[in-house]
Structure 1
Amino acid sequence: MDYLIAKLKKEKENPYEKLWSGDTEIYEMPEDLGGAIPYEADRKLDDDEWFKIENFTNQEYCIDIIKSEFRTPLYPEINKARTSEIEFIFDYSNGVYYFQRILKRNLLVQKRLTLGDNISLDNGERSIVINDLPDALFVVESNILYFKKLENITAIFNGIEIMYKEATKEETEDFVKNSFIELGQNYSVDKIKTMNRKRIAMAIETLKTFDNNQRKEVLEYTHKYYPHLEYEVDKEIFTINNENEMKYLLWGIEQRYYTTPITKEKRVANSVSRI
């Protein structure tokens, strides 16, 4: 039996109400969860990959409904007048919670022709579009949450955005004070945007593991692979004039530049995974 539950935006005391129950599966269990990887902010997934968070119920951003046994009497039937207030839905089926955030594009109110065995006119009943894949799914037995895009589930699991680590303004200011960085006249800390702040957060952690010789090596490596960056070899200083140049420097610190072994082509890895 499948149970489809809605979370209402403005309701605080009892925000969950039942939308539907039946023997028809709303979502299917994906077959490609076996290769799921722990979340990495700068990792781009292939189409058949998922991120995972293990031991999920012990995380501070886990929601209460999945910390205890699912019980249908806890969820009253939804008042149809409140369907426009749905924030997200979840489907519970055989020990798995499937979550989908509900955006305006998922709520339809328009006339449609239903092309079944008999063509019929739908006069504009409100409907919810169910996506082929859930935004996240939680497997009770293994205590693992699976998802593809963290930004799609921040409205479901409040606080999970802490995993989407971004350097603070103070951390960013400290980073650009490194002796190997000089900002151009028209570029400042205030102009460093979200994606580079995320890269800076990773670069800070990477640099902590380097000794002085390794720092020098990574600067030479960056200059070798990306000579378009302005670099004073004697002083070991990169002058960074814009967001793209900052990105190229940060890619160097993360050692993302490489040469293909056969064709000797120089490339940059937009996404990496440790093996």
Structure 2
Amino acid sequence: MANYIYGKVKRKQNMFRVIETETNVYDIGQLNLNGIDYNPATLIENEEFYQVTSFSTSGFILEFLQNDIDSVNHDQISQADLKKLSFICTVQTNLYFFQIINSSFYISKKWFSIEELTIQTEKPIITINPCADTIYDKQSDILYFKRLPAAQKIFKGMDQLYRVATEDETQAFLNNDFLDVNNGFLTNNVSVPNRKRIALVNETLSRFTNDEKQAIYDYTNQYGHVTYQNGKFKIETDDDLKFVLWGIEQRFYTTPIGAEKRVANSIINI
């Protein structure tokens, strides 16, 4: 069965046909597509993937993926446009492997083949990574990826899966009555990671009853890194804020043996 590589050229809307080959670009037999539903609080191992299910209805899918692909409907890419690729897509059966292309993938040095011992000078090449940036399984309608910033470069809008709190949202959070924020600590002192956490915990807090909120404050105070007086956490630094946000996310735990207090760096719901 023929495999195809298509390419997206910068500032052009259509996908172009690049190569038709009988060679498998990716070893599907060694591929373990067992994804974890994307959650910014979850860190994956090197061999794991995040996943977005029902991707065709997510609003991020490319038109290229929505219809059956027929290579004759795609123009052959020109030599000039090969130097303007933003990403390529390798199609093998129902799997679509996407790789971002940047200057590091272009090699134009002098080289020689082990099989043909002649110097090559005018044959620049584009390298293909052994692991794609994103993989779309059309049959199951699942998108797999390892890094959201990379997936966002191909599927525009996916950054909304991990949103940063706006200036107004950040200020509104600092105005909460369970925080005593130092006058010198302003919204521009809040780091990007904490802004991302604020975007998440705002939704979490909105679901809690008053009793549940108090239970969260007491739980956070048990781990004692931030001063808690008169029902308020004293916020003087970005680290103070991070600790309180971790508490709202219920990341703290005590080991059953040794009673060590720890913070979970990654969370997977089970």
Q: Provide TM-score, normalisation by structure 1.
A: 0.92
Alignment-mate amino acid for residue 269 of structure 1: A
Q: Deviations over 1:205-250 (max 9, x none)?
A: 211222222222211221221x231221xx1111212222211110
Q: Where does the alignment leave 5 or more consecutive residues of structure 2 unmatched?
A: none
Identity of aligned pairs, percent? 30
Corresponding residue for residue 43 of structure 2: 44
Structure 1: state its 5+ residue gaps: none
**1:264 Cα deviation from its structure 2 partner:** 1.6
Cross-structure match for 1:146: 144
Pick from 242, 248, 252 the counterpart of residue 247 of structure 1.
242
Aligned partner letter, 1:8:
V
Q: Provide the C-alpha distance between the structure 2 equivalents of 1:230 and 1:46, rounded to a whole number of angstroms.
A: 35
- Counterpart of 1:137 in structure 2 is 135
Measure, in 1, the Cα distance between the counterparts of 2:57 and 2:204: 28
RMSD: 1.6
1:230 to 219, 227, 232: 227
Distance 1:103 1:28 in 2: 23
Q: Which runs of 4+ in 1 moved over 4 A?
A: none
- Corresponding residue for residue 31 of structure 2: 31
Give the count of matched residue pairs: 268
Which of 243, 253, 271 aligns to 2:266? It is: 271
- Listed as ranges, the matches of 1:199-218 within 5 Å are 199-218=197-216
User: Offset of 1:118 from its aligned partner?
Assistant: 4.3
Shift of 1:18: 1.8
Counterpart contact for 2:18–2:76, Cα < 8 Å: yes
What is the CA-CA distance between 1:163 and the residue it aligns to?
1.0
TM-score, normalised to structure 2's length? 0.93
Does 1:197 find its partner at 2:195? yes
How far apart in 2 are the matches of 1:156 and 1:42? 23
Cα shift at 1:89 = 0.4
1:183–1:241 Cα contact (<8 Å) kept: yes
* 1:102 aligned partner: 101
- For residues 121-150 of structure 1, what are the alpha-carbon distances to aligned partners after superposition, in whole Å with 9 as ceiling and x for unaligned? 331522112111111111111111111111
Letter in 1 for 2:133: D
* Aligned mates of 2:139, 2:175 — CA distance in 1: 48
- Contact 2:225 2:243 (8 Å CA) reproduced: no
Contact persistence 1:4–1:90 (CA under 8 A): yes
Amino acid at match of 1:217: A
